[in-house]
Amino acid sequence: MIPAAAERATAPGPARHLPGAGRAARLAVRRLGMLALLLAAVFAAIELLPGDAADATSERGESAADTTLRREALGLDRPVAERFWDWISGLPTGDLGTTAHGQPVTSVLSGPFPNTLLLGSLALALSITGALALGSWAALRPGGRVDRAVAVASTAAFALPEFVVSVALLLVFSQWAGWLPAVTLTGPDGAPASWDMLVLPLLALAIPQIGWNSRIVRGALADQADLPHVQAAIIDGLPRRRILIHHMLPGALPAVAVSTATSAGMLVGGAVVVETLFNYPGVGAVLAGAITDRDTPLVAGVVVATGAAISTLLLLADYVRDRILGTTP
């Protein structure tokens, strides 16, 4: 990424542009800084909740002295700022701290995280592919029957909560047709036992996102259609497919990249719901338990993971826009 950015820097541009590598680094530092700020906010928010991890995890019949002992063992009697610093300074070494139950956060998350990552990235890939296909199909026939059908279907799909889609899929494909399993069984390695258990959760996550993204793709392509070079290509009589791929899609990429990053955030939310319904062994269930336990490091660990994923996608989106439009935000 840095050599490409450096290559751009030799091109004449507005004076406020920093040299290439510096610009890429500045974008990355800005995203990192925002992630740290968000984590501080989440840490503070959990501290404001009534009760703490020592109370929340206390056993029945435990004396007040025992709870106090455990509070000290967990380090909860130290100031928030100090604990936050300890925790965030461990992050670069891959140390996410210790949960309220005394296990390392990384080991609690290491089992379910790959499962959620698999489900989430498949859903992201499916939603982008589907949205590009539907959006392009509609954009090539502005005002036509296909265009109107895609517009209505995508508007309808993105309004639906994931659990509604899940239940509909369950009723149709599992209950009535009997083609796919309704619940995910976990194999000995902690992953779903067979691939067909992934299909329904995947569709439930992807369908609302396909609706959202195909609207963005359709809109971005319509903006491209007005540009002089696309009009010139149409007058030259180039085939539609060629105009779409070579003249319209490249310019639409920045908008598509940003909406991908937005989708990633919505997929995390959807995963909590979909994983609950399909009994999928992912981060969602861990997260629900962590908040009831006031388990600050565990919740923060999940926020780090999702925030880092979204930051990376936003950084890529920044970079795509930078390459195509030649501007810095």
Partner 1 sequence: MTASAPAAMTGRQKPSRARVLVRALPALLLLVLALAGPLLAPHAIDRPLAAPYGPADGTAALGGDLLGRDVLSRLLSGGAPLIATALAIALAVTAAATALGILAALRPRFGRWVERAADLAILLPAVLGIMLIALAWPSGGRLAVGLAATVLGTPYAVRVVAAAAAPIAATGYVETASAGGERLWYLMAREVLPNLRATLLALFGLRFVEGVYIVSIAAFLQLGPQPPEADWALMIRENAPGILLNPWAVAAPCLAIGLLAISVNLAADALAPARPSPETPL
Q: Could you list the residues that contact partner 1 (CB under 8 A)?
A: 34-35, 37-38, 41-42, 45-46, 48-50, 142-144, 147, 151-152, 155-156, 158-164, 167-168, 170-171, 175, 215-216, 218-220, 222-223, 225-226, 254-255, 258-259, 261-262, 265-266, 268-270, 272-273, 276-277, 287-288, 291-292, 299, 302-303, 306-307, 310-311, 314, 329
Closer to partner 1 at the Cβ: 198 or 217? 217
The CA-atom distances, in angstroms, between 326 and each of 15, 179, 201 are: 12, 50, 39
Q: DSSP letter string over 102-161?
A: SSBHHHHHHTHHHHHHHHHHHHHHHHHHHHHHHHHHHHTSTTSHHHHHHHHHHHHHHHS-
Closer to partner 1 at the Cβ: 15 or 48? 48
State the nearest-atom distance from the C-beta of 10 to partner 1, in Å.
26
Using CB atoms within 10 A of its CB, is residue 58 exposed (0-12), middle (13-18) or buried (19+)? middle
Residue 215, token pair as written in the block: 């609207």
**Distance in angstroms (rounded) separating the CA atoms of residues 159 and 101:** 39
The CA-atom distances, in angstroms, between 204 and each of 79, 119, 173, 269, 276 are: 43, 11, 12, 12, 12
Other beta carbons less than 10 A from residue 280's beta carbon: 25
Closer to partner 1 at the Cβ: 47 or 95? 47
Max CA distance (Å), the chain: 84
Closer to partner 1 at the Cβ: 97 or 284? 284
State the nearest-atom distance from the C-beta of 18 to partner 1, in Å.
19
State the nearest-atom distance from the C-beta of 3 to partner 1, in Å.
26
Q: Quick check: 115 and 193 in contact, CB under 8 A?
A: no
Closer to partner 1 at the Cβ: 6 or 180? 180
State the nearest-atom distance from the C-beta of 115 to partner 1, in Å.
18
State the nearest-atom distance from the C-beta of 233 to partner 1, in Å.
14
State the nearest-atom distance from the C-beta of 206 to partner 1, in Å.
16
Closer to partner 1 at the Cβ: 69 or 227? 227
**Distance in angstroms (rounded) separating the CA atoms of residues 329 and 321:** 9
Closer to partner 1 at the Cβ: 63 or 292? 292
State the nearest-atom distance from the C-beta of 62 to partner 1, in Å.
21
The CA-atom distances, in angstroms, between 137 and each of 130, 209, 271 are: 11, 17, 29
Closer to partner 1 at the Cβ: 41 or 73? 41
State the nearest-atom distance from the C-beta of 315 to partner 1, in Å.
12
SS (H, E, C) 45-59: HHHHCCCCHHHHCCC
